[in-house]
Amino acid sequence: MAYTKTEWEDLPSTNTPITADNLNHMEDGIEQVDNDIDEIYNNIGDLSNLNTADNTNIVSAINSMLSIKLWENPNGNTSFSSQAVSIQNLSDYEMIEIFAKNYASSSYKNLVSVRIINGYNGYLCVIETNGGIINRQATVDWVNNKVTFENAKFKDVNATSASNDNNRCIPLIIVGYKKIFS
């Protein structure tokens, strides 16, 4: 039941007398709030039982369950050739998202991302229009605790084949997501 607040008036008004009924009304409201807080606290459970990286408080626990940065490229401003990145306990996550930037020497303003489910692959794609459509993509595979990046490929729309371009699609970070599908 919702609490009905009393709008108290100063003396000499007699519209809000200090009576046992009015004081008990306040006491009942305070008691109800206290009981509600106890019920909420008791129903949260023991945070130490949460399967999270940080269970010191409910906000950190929820954030940890949703996503966490798993890897960061220490050289985000340089070329990135084909390689595998091993990440401990990566298979504990249901999905990862890889954020990459368009060009090695560019600012972080031009980002692309791809989300991948364990056992599948995805493509970091950059499509540019500079007198024609140019497609640059890097294939990314995720299997168990390893993410493998292939060389970025450069292909003009009029070209018959693609060439490597390790200065494009530079991965910056990998974020892991839990509890997405359950």
Residue pLDDT tens, the chain, 182 long: 678 888 999 999 999 999 999 899 999 989 998 888 888 777 766 666 665 666 666 666 666 666 788 999 998 888 888 899 999 888 888 899 999 887 766 555 577 888 898 888 888 776 666 555 566 677 888 988 999 988 877 766 666 777 787 877 888 999 998 877 76
Cα–Cα distance for residue pair 93/180, rounded to 1 Å: 9
Cα–Cα distance for residue pair 68/19, rounded to 1 Å: 56
The DSSP 8-state label assigned to residue 104 in this structure reads T
Bridge partners, residue 177, by sequence: 67, 95
- Position 101 scores a pLDDT of 83
- Position 81 scores a pLDDT of 86
Contact 65, 52 (CB under 8 A): yes
Q: Which of 90, 94, 79, 95 lies closest to 171 in space, CA to CA?
A: 79
- Position 92 scores a pLDDT of 84
Q: Which of 167, 142, 156 lies closest to 79 in space, CA to CA?
A: 167
Half-sphere exposure of 178 (CA within 13 A, CB side): 19
The DSSP 8-state label assigned to residue 37 in this structure reads H
Cis omega before residue 171 (within 30°)? no
- Residue 144, amino acid: N
Cα–Cα distance for residue pair 60/53, rounded to 1 Å: 9
Distances (CA, A) of 133 to 32, 78, 127, 168: 66, 25, 7, 15
- Position 107 scores a pLDDT of 56
Q: Which two tokens stand for residue 20?
A: 């046992």
- What is the residue whose two structure tokens read 């940890």? 64
Q: Which of 97, 120, 114 lies closest to 174 in space, CA to CA?
A: 97
- Position 40 scores a pLDDT of 77
Cα-only R_g, the chain: 28
Cα–Cα distance for residue pair 60/40, rounded to 1 Å: 18
Does the pTM of the predicted model rise above 0.95?
A: no
